[in-house]
């Protein structure tokens, strides 16, 4: 059983995988465990940022915060939104906050994943704590 669990949440097209990851985190948690739901907002490339109105970016972030807060409230977890590169940011967050487990959902591998890698693969390879990957 784990005491400090991090669950990275990707809200874009997750097909229920976030709910599965949260359920697994709850199963692996002790009675006094802390669970943190984390969403990483990737930077918009500089060549594209000028084409996106500021109010769209603000509304998107507000929507992410609202949904993450709802998911966290359902299980008594903490919700966090950070900016950065997903794989590296998840690892940095886990190390800084002393997480002893990361529960992360992964999509089914395809040719694109084999060539480019995925966030889950990066986390598994470089995490200093246990990682539970959902397929």
**Band of pLDDT at residue 115, cut at 50, 70 and 90:** very low
Query: CATH number for the 2-134 domain, one of 3.40.50.620, 3.40.50.12280, 3.40.50.1820, 3.90.180.10?
Result: 3.40.50.620
The Cα–Cα gap between 28 and 17 comes to 17
Q: What is the pTM of this model?
A: 0.91
- How far, in whole angstroms, is CA 12 from its chain's centroid? 11
pLDDT for residue 116: 44
pLDDT digits (tens, 9 = 90+) for 73-85: 999 999 999 999 9
pLDDT of residue 5: 98
Chain-wide mean pLDDT for the chain? 91
- pLDDT of 98 above 80: yes
Q: Domain ranges for the chain, please list them.
A: 2-134
Residue 106: pLDDT band by 50, 70, 90 thresholds?
Answer: confident
Do residues 77 and 99 lie in contact, with contact meaning Cβ atoms separated by under 8 Å? no
Is 105:13 a contact under the CB 8 Å cutoff? no
pLDDT at 54: 83
Percent of the chain having pLDDT more than 70? 91
| In the predicted structure, residue 19 carries a pLDDT above the cut 90 | yes
């Amino acid at each position: 059983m784990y005491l400090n669990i991090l669950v990275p949440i990707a809200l874009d097209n997750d097909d229920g995988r976030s709910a599965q990851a949260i359920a697994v985190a709850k199963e692996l948690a002790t009675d006094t465990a802390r669970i943190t739901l984390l969403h990483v907002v990737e930077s918009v490339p500089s060549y594209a940022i000028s084409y996106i109105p500021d109010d769209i970016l603000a509304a998107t972030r507000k929507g992410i915060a609202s949904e993450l807060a709802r998911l966290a409230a359902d299980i008594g977890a903490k919700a966090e939104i950070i900016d950065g590169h997903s794989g590296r940011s998840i690892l940095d967050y886990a190390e800084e906050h002393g997480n002893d487990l990361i529960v992360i959902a992964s999509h089914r591998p395809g040719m694109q994943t084999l060539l480019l890698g995925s966030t889950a693969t990066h986390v598994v390879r470089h995490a200093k704590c246990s990682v539970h990957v959902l397929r």
